[in-house]
Structure 1
Amino acid sequence: MIIKGNILNVFTDEIYPGEIKVTNGIIESIREVDQYFPDIIVPGFIDCHTHIESSMVTPSRFAEVALRHGTTAVVNDPHEIANVMGLEGIEYMVNDAKYAPLKFFFTVPSCVPSTSNETNGAVIDTSIVESLIKRDEFVALSEVMDYDGVVNGEDDLIEKINLAKKYHKPIDGHAPLLSGVDLQKYVKYGISTEHECVSSAEALEKKRLGMKIMIREGSESHMLETLVNNPTDFIVTDDIKPEDLVKGHLNIRLRKAVDYGMDPFDAIRKVTLNPAMHYGLNCGCIAPGKSADFVFIDNLDDFRVKRVVVNGNTIFKKQKILYRAKPLSLDTHINLEHKVPEDFDVVAGNPDKKSAVVNVMNVIPNSIVTGRSTAKLTIDRGKIIPSVFEDVLKISVVERYGGNTVCNAFISGFGLKNGAIASSVSHDSHNIIVVGTNSEYMAEATNRIIDNEGGIVAISNQEELDLPLPIAGLMSDRPVLEVARKSEALNEMVARMGCSLESPFSILSFMALPVVPELKITNLGLFDVSKNRFIDVVNHED
């Protein structure tokens, strides 16, 4: 097979007309020719750090849409489903991905559970890590998010890191705001990438220590503009919701990078050659011996995808995808009793007091980092009442793995005027998380999720809407466009409820992640990430 076009060379920053000879899906040879072609052939795009579960669809369904946008490979970290179902969940992701033309590579979850400060559904111990990391489809150890454990030299975590070294697999990092001596201890163990940088200074400090910097441009975190002038290595999505995926994937990130001033050849390398070299993938460039994975684009400004070739076979052409997914089923359920409104009450220590000063989580728009503040709230009949007027609402985590417990606190930034929103997607343990204006709405929203065996829900005094996610409470087996439309409708409803956040459910899902500063809530309590300890919800009562 001969494929013709203007070839973009990621090694020399050249574009020249050529013919690519492909045999059995592998590039055999390349010949420069003297001929005009309308399109540029670039290597297939690689998203080298993503969590497919965040798209709320299965890997095979994800491939149906990502291929349209020129993505021919992903490095997927399945630690979301691993926290829910352990090895069974990981194997589901691998098996569902097997028959998709898109190349799925996996990393081995390093922190399941992510910390001891929450309850999850499974444990990935060192024996499971070794059983997976020796397999070819697992190309790295997943992001080591328990950076305190690394800095303190915890034996179990260090053993997992050493297993990655034993099998010559790279180790991904996750250490937001870690700096100075502790950062150097973290890097000393061979942790080589970072996708959590939120400033140029943070990225530069980590780059100076030899870490490879991922620019995260996903649905919640938008760091391209901030880091475009920094020395960086990869462009990744990390988490992308379905309504964003249907609009574009890495092709949109390339367009934005160039718009922000990045050299287009450098931008393309960050999603082709660089990830392939780092993770040892046989793709990422147009060279003899490499997989024949190509994307035909019209120019280096808008990166409009016209044709996609994987292993020498055309998968997308003339706006038609030549692949249809057949997602695997997965038997899962939420082990939780129905809740009553009283489960979501914050009870005063002294019911005779008139008010209470409480600690409040503060949402930061377009960020998974939170701030903190305090608020003075009214005590009524022994219960501390949220203030819709001051945007201090209740937030709760409901443990879904049989413990049947509820933890309640307060949050600012969602802006709901009435009602509640809830989700069984809450990183990383994926207990049910709910924000609402009163306990009645919060109980109703939680019970809807239990009935649906997972999903996202919005309930107000005027309307109700839900999106079932029956696969581990994280994913649907329905097509991406269908899931995207429901997700978008839910976001629009939440906006009508008073929320101005661009991605309310995505932001909500990270409010239970106790490894990202500053205040987070788990089923065990309100957690101060910076001080690595639980704190009281109530400061004092007056």
Structure 2
Amino acid sequence: MPARHDEAFLARAIAAGAGEAPADLVIRNVRLFSVVDGSTVETDIAVTGDRIVGTHGRYDGETVVDGGGLTAVPGFIDTHLHVESSLVTPFEFDRCVLPHGVTTAICDPHEIANVLGAEGIRYFLDSSLETVMDLRVNLSSCVPATAFETSGACLEIEDLLPYRDHPSVIGLAEFMNFPGVLARDPKVLAKLAAFQDGHIDGHAPLLLGQGLNGYLAAGIRTDHEATTAEEALEKLAKGMTILMREGSVSKDLEALAPILTPDVSAFVALCTDDRNPLDIAEEGHLDSMIRRLIAKGIRPLDVYRAASWSAANAFGLKDRGVIAPGKRADIVLLKDFEDCRVEQVVSGGVLVSDDAFSKRSIVQPVGLDSVHVDAVNPSSFAIPARNSEADVIGVVHGRIITEHLKRTLPVAGGKTLVDLDQDVLKVAVVERHRRTGNIGLGFVNGFGMKEGAIASSVGHDSHNICVVGADEEAMA
């Protein structure tokens, strides 16, 4: 819940900061790292309410925590993610990633919105008022994401405007329909026009040249889809903030690490877009990105700046990103600075602990009956033979961008078959929202499967049921 900063609070904060009254919380004996100039100073950090009120001095407080020489850095900001894609609720996500130093997460409830529409967005907004971390929301701009698939909902500007002034809302989420922007689609323009005085998040893979100029002319200023240094540098040159991404599926850190230099670190931020619980447990979250970037020789100042101050500025969060009086008390205490090993976290003035999580009011879940599909059988996945090479989706490990391949496949009984020797399997998308019975069929390369099948109802962006298999019986 957002804190109140009325006259009484300001009087308390000023008195505590001036050393005339005890603060609510004092963290003693820390090494305060500055993301402004890279300096480190031994000091206390005083906190009143959710605000830092004192640094570079000694303070008394109602609660005193001995920092024991730990290094204090600003809380980390994940600038783009979909909490749903972490496969947990906002409350479990809160409990899962806050101990890794992520005190602010900017989410787009795009996935749940494509299934449930405005009900899904409301669930996230209600949850954002109860989490210990500051969970910020960009309103989903592209529901449905494409006209080529059946989603569970359609959100136009009239559906988004009621939430525009919610305290957790930053602006409009990733505008992935960049063809619609360039074509000046009226519905697209209506959404863009309504958020011209706020943040509009970008999503424009491989868009460069004058097409990129046209896209940016709509007031879009961030992008997490750059997959090469060359693409990122052109977007930086045209005023975009690059959100360097390293998630469970999309992995761009290796390609983009060279751009994180002293000259541009104020215009680069970090995001996960997204990590699953297993990867978070084994590797971490943004802390994993930070340690890997530093291990690659990137200057720690630039890495920690990108993880906090640069991110805050890119999204208009002027109250955070640096440990200084007057700023939000988002503080990460590190036992190992260069390896980014988190010992303790303060989020909005609250010491992160099991007790803090237990005090949250949990919002009741939604969408528990959102899968509506009839039974299928092996014949549902038959693909008629054609007198030409088959089109095959080429999946590339670690990349979100696929390839368009052509393959000659075996034919029997008037049907085109899989070819395990060429690693060509069948892929199908089964509509699960409206019981249309629609099934999209194709071939895919890159899975390496020799038998059986796998399926998931988690499938960006419409979340129909996707199944990949070596034979139709297993797929059914």
Deviation by residue 1:174-203 (Cα, 9 ceiling, x = unmatched)? 110011111111111111001111111111
Contact 1:109/1:141 (<8 A) preserved: yes
Contact 2:128/2:168 (<8 A) preserved: no
Describe the SS at the equivalent of 2:255. helix
Structure 2 residue aligned with 1:463: none
Q: 1:198 and 1:2 mapped to 2: Cα distance? A: 43
Number of positions where the alignment pairs a residue of Structure 1 with one of Structure 2: 433
Contact 2:236/2:242 (<8 A) preserved: yes
Q: What amino acid maps onto 2:215 in structure 1?
A: Y
Normalising by structure 2, report the TM-score.
0.87
Describe the SS at the equivalent of 1:425. coil
Normalising by structure 1, report the TM-score.
0.77
Structure 1 residue aligned with 2:7: none
Structure 2 residue aligned with 1:160: 191
Q: 1:413 and 1:122 mapped to 2: Cα distance? A: 31
Sort the Cα spacing of 1:296 and 1:149 in 2 relative to 1 into closer, same or farther, 3 A.
same
Structure 1 residue aligned with 2:452: 419
Residue 249 in structure 1 maps to residue 249 in structure 2: no
Q: What amino acid maps onto 2:394 in structure 1?
A: N
Q: 1:233 and 1:268 mapped to 2: Cα distance? A: 11
Structure 1 residue aligned with 2:341: 304
Q: 1:416 and 1:226 mapped to 2: Cα distance? A: 28
1:134, distance to aligned residue in structure 2 (A): 2.3
Deviation by residue 1:392-435 (Cα, 9 ceiling, x = unmatched)? 11001111122121111111111111100001011101111110
Structure 2 residue aligned with 1:236: 271
Deviation by residue 1:3-57 (Cα, 9 ceiling, x = unmatched)? 2211112222211011222112211222336999521111111101111111100
Residue 396 in structure 1 maps to residue 449 in structure 2: no
Structure 2 residue aligned with 1:377: 409
Matches within 5 A, 1:126-165: 126-165=157-196
Q: 1:415 and 1:311 mapped to 2: Cα distance? A: 46
Describe the SS at the equivalent of 1:118. coil
Residue 269 in structure 1 maps to residue 325 in structure 2: no
Aligned pair partner of 2:253 in 224, 238, 244:
224
Please, which runs of 5 or more residues in structure 2 have no aligned partner?
A: 1-24, 60-65
Structure 2 residue aligned with 1:105: 136
Aligned pair partner of 1:45 in 68, 76, 87:
76
Structure 2 residue aligned with 1:185: 214
Residue 323 in structure 1 maps to residue 357 in structure 2: yes
Q: 1:276 and 1:71 mapped to 2: Cα distance? A: 13
Residue 333 in structure 1 maps to residue 370 in structure 2: yes
Q: 1:321 and 1:77 mapped to 2: Cα distance? A: 28
Aligned pair partner of 1:342 in 379, 382, 395:
379
Aligned pair partner of 1:175 in 198, 204, 207:
204
Q: 2:234 and 2:199 mapped to 1: Cα distance? A: 20
Sort the Cα spacing of 1:374 and 1:36 in 2 relative to 1 into closer, same or farther, 3 A.
closer
Contact 1:2/1:21 (<8 A) preserved: yes
Structure 2 residue aligned with 1:197: 226
Structure 2 residue aligned with 1:206: 235
Structure 2 residue aligned with 1:498: none
Q: What amino acid maps onto 1:323 in structure 2?
A: F
Describe the SS at the equivalent of 1:367. coil
Describe the SS at the equivalent of 1:32. coil
Q: 1:229 and 1:357 mapped to 2: Cα distance? A: 40
Q: 2:255 and 2:389 mapped to 1: Cα distance? A: 36
Contact 2:132/2:356 (<8 A) preserved: no
Q: 1:97 and 1:58 mapped to 2: Cα distance? A: 11
Describe the SS at the equivalent of 1:266. helix
Please, which runs of 5 or more residues in structure 1 have no aligned partner?
A: 350-354, 444-542
Q: 1:14 and 1:299 mapped to 2: Cα distance? A: 16
Residue 290 in structure 1 maps to residue 333 in structure 2: no
Q: 1:96 and 1:37 mapped to 2: Cα distance? A: 35
Contact 2:123/2:363 (<8 A) preserved: no
Q: What amino acid maps onto 1:378 in structure 2?
A: P
1:306, distance to aligned residue in structure 2 (A): 0.5
Deviation by residue 1:475-507 (Cα, 9 ceiling, x = unmatched)? xxxxxxxxxxxxxxxxxxxxxxxxxxxxxxxxx
Sort the Cα spacing of 1:280 and 1:172 in 2 relative to 1 into closer, same or farther, 3 A.
same
- What is the percentage of aligned positions where both structures have the same residue? 36
1:109, distance to aligned residue in structure 2 (A): 0.7
Deviation by residue 1:62-119 (Cα, 9 ceiling, x = unmatched)? 1111011111110011111100000001111222343221110000111111121211
Describe the SS at the equivalent of 2:405. strand
Q: 1:188 and 1:204 mapped to 2: Cα distance? A: 18
Contact 1:47/1:75 (<8 A) preserved: yes
Structure 2 residue aligned with 1:439: 472
Structure 2 residue aligned with 1:25: 50
Deviation by residue 1:457-477 (Cα, 9 ceiling, x = unmatched)? xxxxxxxxxxxxxxxxxxxxx
Q: 2:125 and 2:277 mapped to 1: Cα distance? A: 20
Sort the Cα spacing of 1:356 and 1:386 in 2 relative to 1 into closer, same or farther, 3 A.
farther
Describe the SS at the equivalent of 2:243. strand
Structure 1 residue aligned with 2:395: 363
Aligned pair partner of 1:2 in 7, 13, 26:
26
1:333, distance to aligned residue in structure 2 (A): 2.5
Structure 2 residue aligned with 1:314: 351
Q: 2:407 and 2:45 mapped to 1: Cα distance? A: 65
Q: 2:430 and 2:84 mapped to 1: Cα distance? A: 20
Q: 1:442 and 1:252 mapped to 2: Cα distance? A: 36
Q: 1:279 and 1:213 mapped to 2: Cα distance? A: 12
Aligned pair partner of 1:410 in 415, 419, 443:
443
Describe the SS at the equivalent of 2:409. strand
Sort the Cα spacing of 1:276 and 1:313 in 2 relative to 1 into closer, same or farther, 3 A.
same
1:128, distance to aligned residue in structure 2 (A): 1.9
Structure 2 residue aligned with 1:120: 151
Describe the SS at the equivalent of 2:55. strand
Q: 1:126 and 1:329 mapped to 2: Cα distance? A: 25
Q: 2:111 and 2:140 mapped to 1: Cα distance? A: 9
Structure 2 residue aligned with 1:387: 419
Aligned pair partner of 1:81 in 106, 109, 112:
112
Describe the SS at the equivalent of 1:245. helix
Q: 1:259 and 1:84 mapped to 2: Cα distance? A: 40
Contact 1:58/1:327 (<8 A) preserved: no
Contact 1:17/1:33 (<8 A) preserved: no
Q: 1:253 and 1:220 mapped to 2: Cα distance? A: 14
Describe the SS at the equivalent of 2:420. coil
